[in-house]
Structure 1
Amino acid sequence: MIIEEKKLYDFLDDANQHELHFSRGRQNCLLIKSAFDVETDFLYLLEGYYENDPHKAGDSAAYAGVYSHVRREYFDIPYALRDRADENKSIEEVLTEFSRAVSARIAAMVHDAPVPVTEEAEEIRDEREYYQKYALPREARECFFGDAKRLHYQANYYVSDPSTAEIAAILNHFEDAVNASAKDFIRKKARAINERLWETGLLREEVARMEATPGEYHARRAIMRSIAGQNMKTVNLEIQKGDESTIIKIEASALRCMDDSYYSPWRMDAPSRYKLVERFGRNTEVYPDDVVKITYGRKVLYERKAEVSKS
């Protein structure tokens, strides 16, 4: 801190002090305290350069943060008061923490069970046919390949453009504000929540069907898992089509593809593209079921197992 910490917090805690003079280099500064309510003060800063008085006709005081008497914590501390970036916690960071906490609280309150629908609940559009035809297959693939969080209700809450009173409530009474916002969200979004629970039920059924059905998806997932967390640019693929086989080099990131597409030859090096044409003919497409082994140097990352049957 530019100002001695005890001096600053003595000023912030004293309801009878409204101005604090201090110097920063050759600047004369004046920190002004304005009470929003009994628990919250807003701070403003006047600065006078080259030892001038900070009071100057026509000048405006700059916003200099918020102080919570309940938490005894100063947020959005301006650079004029600190000498290290890690000395500051911003209001924006608190709002992000708050949004995450509310999202988690909503999910816990819903707990994958339908919620009551009241007159406060917002109307929603009927998009069940679209979900079943288009969104469900995509979501099922994403869940099957690792995004299992979607198999349970997940709230997506973010506090947007909060009023000053709402910010003060969040700073001073975080848990109470989390509970109040979660309950308010559930009341207003009850229909949307119940619709998502219906979608989640279909999603679980589809993922269970994919898990129980051996095929291309299983091979694709096993390949994706074999390179997960590995720091490498390219790997070697031993591929087999019928009685013919060869080894090609491909970018490791190309093997993370979750859709039904083949592994693009443009993610292979030039000799590998030539080798594919020479061995299997033009327009050859390489799919997960064609991959027999994946290696990186001498390390074997993946080997096709007999139980992974072809599509």
Structure 2
Amino acid sequence: MNRQFEAWLRSGETNLLSLRLERESYIFLRLPKRPGFDYLFAQRQYRGDGALRADDFEYAGIYNAADGLVYDADYALIHAEGLDDTLAERSKGNLLKRLKQDVRALVERRVAGDRGNLAICELTDARSLERLEQYRKYRAPSAARELILGGLTPEDAGFSCHYRPDQWTEDTLLDYLADPLGYAEREAARFWANDGHQAEMLLDFLAHDALAAEYEKLAEDAENPVHTVRRIMEAVAFTDAKTVTVTIHKDGQDFTFKTEASVLRRDCTNTYGTWYIVAADRREFERRFGRSAEYAPGEIVRITYARKVLYEAEN
């Protein structure tokens, strides 16, 4: 923090501060908001350093006397060279993120991964039951696939709290700055006491049950193409190749072509498109198999790069 600026803040003086920085000049004034907190206002100038009658003093931030820091600084102040390089860390957006993280951690600690610690043991409202059914039908299968492809298990996707804080008001922001931990604890208690949030937390456990069931089905189905896709992704993931050579067996014939490696590093869902095949090979692919044809993971026989075999289909 600029020493002159810091000294003025800590002094508690109500006189104006004229501060010349490398690229601009500021005139600051402070107004007490509540004990321990001052609102800062500033006039910014790029020429000269005196007050201008036609310019307004604009809100610049909140000074917290307890720690000597400025919070919720405006954009210009954050980017004022030579003033305080740490201002961005204490923006109101970052403070909101910190509150969200702290409250979620408190709630998750109270739940401790055990649904028996919740205040309810079953879902009764229609909206939550519908959300659970929709998750079972549509999201659980795709989420289980993502776990398989990522080399993860349902244990890696345990309970998580979904607390979302309200936007700051004049009072709540100051209350938080006065006692961040106490404020987070009060928010966690308020969240816990809400029946809707209790249902939301139980829903998270029940959704995890559905995910685990789908994962088990996929993991035990050795013939499911997802396992082939995973092996292909893993084989290409750790090479810096931009293009690789792929050999497929399709419609009773072998065909070798070059394609961008990036398409093989991600989930194809069902088949790989031909858009990423180099132009000459793509034309030959279309001549052999048709313009709308694609190739499936199970049709890939071999993938090579610089004469090195990256992947070979299992017999």
TM-score tier after normalising by the smaller chain length: 0.7 to 0.9
Specify whether residues 134 and 79 from structure 1 end up closer, same or farther in structure 2 by C-alpha distance, changes over 3 A only. closer
Q: Which of 141, 149, 159 is residue 145 of structure 1 equivalent to?
A: 149
2:189 corresponding residue in structure 1:
183
2:243 corresponding residue in structure 1:
234
Q: C-alpha distance in 2, partners of 1:39/1:130?
A: 50
- The correspondence of residues 17-32 of structure 1 with structure 2, limited to 5 A, is 17-24=13-20, 29-32=26-29
The one-letter code matched in structure 1 to 2:167 is D
Q: C-alpha distance in 1, partners of 2:233/2:286?
A: 25
2:174 corresponding residue in structure 1:
168
- The correspondence of residues 101-250 of structure 1 with structure 2, limited to 5 A, is 101-114=102-115, 115-117=118-120, 124-127=127-130, 128-146=132-150, 151-188=157-194, 189-215=197-223, 216-228=225-237, 230-241=239-250, 244-250=253-259
Listed as ranges, the gaps of 5+ residues in structure 1 are 307-311
1:54 Cα shift? 2.0
The one-letter code matched in structure 2 to 1:97 is R
Q: C-alpha distance in 1, partners of 2:16/2:219?
A: 67
Aligned residues: 299
CA contact (8 A) 1:246 1:279 kept: no
| Length-normalised TM-score, structure 2 | 0.79
Tell me the secondary structure at the aligned position of residue 269 of structure 2. Answer: coil
Mean Cα deviation higher: 19-28 or 30-39: 19-28
The Cα offsets for residues 275-306 of structure 1, whole Å up to 9 and x where unpaired, read as: 33455566543111112222232343323234
Listed as ranges, the gaps of 5+ residues in structure 2 are none
- The runs of 4+ residues in structure 1 deviating greater than 6 Å are 25-28
CA contact (8 A) 1:186 1:193 kept: no
The Cα offsets for residues 187-245 of structure 1, whole Å up to 9 and x where unpaired, read as: 33111111121011110121122112212111111212223355443222122247532
Specify whether residues 156 and 253 from structure 1 end up closer, same or farther in structure 2 by C-alpha distance, changes over 3 A only. farther
Specify whether residues 234 and 51 from structure 1 end up closer, same or farther in structure 2 by C-alpha distance, changes over 3 A only. closer
